[in-house]
Structure 1
């Protein structure tokens, strides 16, 4: 007799629930054990988050909650800069500013400035790309670009000694403009324009806590930075001391001085003009490194001058003393 049963020596085969008994329903209601935590459920969104955190911790991050916050990376000093705006771009190209790429917005309204920018870029072999306005917004950090931007490589700063050498090769008395605490690139660009206009041989900027030659500086300088040398000093006070030892007269601009710039002597010789920040003026150490500290006389209505304006007035006074 096929199958198991009494007397067959084999266990009887358990019958499956018959239709209508509800057995299938009861089986479906049987418990499956405790629900696993979220990080063990592969379908749960927290599992991928947990795995990401574990990978970060293995990569050297700590397990504290602060380490899980995304870290914002600083912009590298070696990263290229971007000049935005039709006037700024065409003036930079006219001045021969070193550039690698010209970005032009799709379906841009071509005026004379855009046409000239494209023509100069083509003549100089500068790459040209048509991009969306969102791309231009990102490249210029949200500044007004008018549908066009120019990428320039990171600035190649000179050594402070190079500024003296430039004057010596031109058989002229050195005239250097040093910036102390000037953090706005637009002020640097404005000072560069005045320095070039009044015969300075270059700018000196500190390597820390100071504006550098960025896109904003290029834009404000209207291309002047292409022909004016900018040097960078690791320690401004030490560099000023070395200039003094080399025979240069160091004059600082500070509104708290009691000496007017028109009363200063030796402005026609080897000279360094030090411009302080608009808010704080010269720092203590830099002030002590100057041979003389002067002020620009103003009326009682004006509290202070913009760093760019102050530098322009001082350089004009120096040029007046040097005029034959």
Structure 2
């Protein structure tokens, strides 16, 4: 039977006498090891230090998702937004959402709540940010080959239901991801990952 490798790293070698003299490091993690799902450069860092470092290089992409029925995919969207260092994640609708799928990555992103889509549209309008929806609905255009604004809000709807009517009407444009199989739509979390990566290909430097 194949042995499972432990995630992360153990205690800092050499004991407390060898610990780095750097306020970014967490004494608890140095003493007991860091088993979190973080990249190697952040091993042993405090959450606050990681967030502060990410804040110096976040992308000007805002990601919004409607939350009217406790969609299980919201956590997945948050996790992907963290992976791509999105500026903020906007939860539209219910304040509470299922964080399980985020795999604790919600600690490293900036979350903003909006009571409704009108609130999000007003927030974006006051900052001059175009709002673009992702959904395969009549009148939408293909995402592939489309030039996306560098500074923008990308909004997603609920699983199966898609974007609400108010969201579709308020978006500057709605784009769809081309599909070639039999199913009507792909998972909302997967769609968000594809759309965010499309933005990264156009505007982000190599990691």
Pairwise same-fold verdict (TM > 0.5): yes
CA distance in 1, matches of 2:107, 2:71: 15
1:244 equivalent among 89, 113, 125:
125
**Distance verdict in 2 for CA 1:186–1:283, change over 3 Å:** closer
- Give the secondary structure class of the aligned counterpart of 1:279: coil
Tell me, which stretches of 5 or more residues in structure 2 are unaligned?
Answer: 1-5, 8-27, 33-53
Partner of 1:188: 74
**Distance verdict in 2 for CA 1:243–1:198, change over 3 Å:** same
After TM superposition, the structure 1 = structure 2 runs for residues 217-256 of structure 1, keeping only pairs within 5 Å, are: 217=99, 219-256=100-137
CA distance in 1, matches of 2:68, 2:180: 24
Partner of 2:144: 262
Q: Offset at 1:190?
A: 0.7
2:158 equivalent among 270, 273, 277:
277
Q: Does 1:320 align with 2:201?
A: yes
Contact 1:177 1:204 (8 Å CA) reproduced: yes
Tell me which stretches of 4 or more aligned residues in structure 1 moved more than 3 Å: 169-173, 181-186
Partner of 2:91: 205
CA distance in 2, matches of 1:306, 1:244: 29
After TM superposition, the structure 1 = structure 2 runs for residues 79-228 of structure 1, keeping only pairs within 5 Å, are: 170=56, 174-181=60-67, 183-184=69-70, 186-208=72-94, 212=97, 214=98, 217=99, 219-228=100-109
Q: Which has the higher helix share?
A: 1
Partner of 1:287: 168
Using the size of structure 2 for normalisation, the TM-score is 0.66
Partner of 1:297: 178
Using the size of structure 1 for normalisation, the TM-score is 0.44
CA distance in 2, matches of 1:284, 1:268: 23
Q: Report the structure number with the largest CA radius of gyration.
A: 1
Give the count of matched residue pairs: 160
CA distance in 2, matches of 1:278, 1:186: 8
Contact 2:82 2:105 (8 Å CA) reproduced: yes
CA distance in 1, matches of 2:80, 2:57: 21
Contact 1:175 1:202 (8 Å CA) reproduced: yes
CA distance in 1, matches of 2:56, 2:117: 25
**Distance verdict in 2 for CA 1:287–1:220, change over 3 Å:** same
Tell me, which stretches of 5 or more residues in structure 1 are unaligned?
Answer: 1-89, 92-118, 124-166
CA distance in 2, matches of 1:207, 1:318: 25
CA distance in 2, matches of 1:258, 1:252: 9
